[in-house]
Amino acid sequence: WNFTMPAIVLGSISILSDAGLGMAMFSLGLFMALQPRIIACGNKVATYAMAVRFLAGPAVMTAASFAVGLRGTLLHVAIVQAALPQGIVPFVFAKEYSVHPDILSTAVIFGMLIALPITLVYYILLDL
């Protein structure tokens, strides 16, 4: 279509997009600060969520990768990527639509804390 966006519109969109991540992190921090406990959803639910995230996620990725024919290094990279922590965007959607933001806030915070050792374990086990 050979359409170029005007510079003022492009600049405005760039400013808004740069502020988005910071506002999402501020929202998560504010939500966590207002909770009476650090693990807002309870220890049992948090443990279950972390197990699903870091065990079932890579297992599903392994099965899906085999189904589409990934092998070797690409398979290993896909599994390690499945073990990486989730971003902050799922919390923003959970908060916006009131769908268990307590579980997502706990998952985002603790997922980032425990993701490094878990990802390193997957990395070592897969000989990458």
SS (H, E, C) the chain: CCCCCCHHHHHHHHHHHHHHHHHHHHHHHHHHHCCCCCCCCCHHHHHHHHHHHHHHHHHHHHHHHHHHCCCCHHHHHHHHHHCCCCCCHHHHHHHHHCCCHHHHHHHHHHHHHHHHHHHHHHHHHCCC
Task: Supply the pTM of this predicted model.
Answer: 0.64
Report how far residue 3's alpha carbon sits from residue 64's, in angstroms, rounded to the nearest whole number: 39
- pLDDT tens sequence across 58-92: 999 999 999 999 998 899 888 888 888 777 888 88
Report how far residue 12's alpha carbon sits from residue 55's, in angstroms, rounded to the nearest whole number: 41
> What pLDDT, on a 0 to 100 scale, did the predictor assign at position 3?
86
More confident site: 63 or 100: 63
Structure tokens at 5: 């966006």
Q: Cα angle vertex 97, ends 56, 60, to 5°? A: 15
- pLDDT tens sequence across 104-125: 888 888 888 888 888 888 888 8
Q: 61 φ, ψ to 5°?
A: -65, -40
